[in-house]
Amino acid sequence: MDATGNDVISIPRLGRYTIDTGRSSLTFGTRHRFGLLPVRGTFAVRGGTIDVAEPLAESSVRAEIDATGFRTGNDQRDTAVRSERFLDAERHPVITFVSDHVDPAVISGQLTVRAVTRPVRLSVVRSEVLGGSFTVRATTSVDRTEFGITRSGLLARRHVDLTLDVTCVRT
């Protein structure tokens, strides 16, 4: 936020950028046990590229998330979610996002989880340019059942809130 309390959205220079996996993360939040208990965790970001173009709508984003990198701090739950009952991370180790349209406030695209692809809209809540790199925070909510993750009916909430924090370095 700037001094007036408004979100900061900056547009990086034109060109190709690579996601710095060491400085990027995907965090999530949902509820468990009939919607009473919060569950928070992370996925590891495997990599990706951002091509910033003029006009901005012609830019592209491709990001890869490591499904085996699902972590909540509860080993039993993490193992269960990575299993074939949920993410099936052994057979589908990569979750991908590929953009269809980019503008300063929204990145629309296709999210693929367990070989199921669905449209999603990422709301850009912050973007900051730092020399030859930039950082972006974007959020969305996905319905896990749309990706075939239907186990745990009443025990787990259908919707998962995602926050992607990425640092991108000019290549």
pLDDT score, position 152: 63
CATH superfamily, with its number, for domain 15-170: Lipid/polyisoprenoid-binding, YceI-like (2.40.128.110)
Per the prediction, the chain carries an average pLDDT of: 89
Taking only the tens place, the pLDDT of each residue in 63-120 is 999 999 999 998 988 998 899 888 999 999 999 999 999 999 999 999 999 999 999 9
* DSSP string covering 132-171: TEEEEEEEEEEEGGGGT--TTTTTB-SEEEEEEEEEEEE-
In whole angstroms, what is the distance from residue 121 CA to residue 123 CA?
Answer: 6
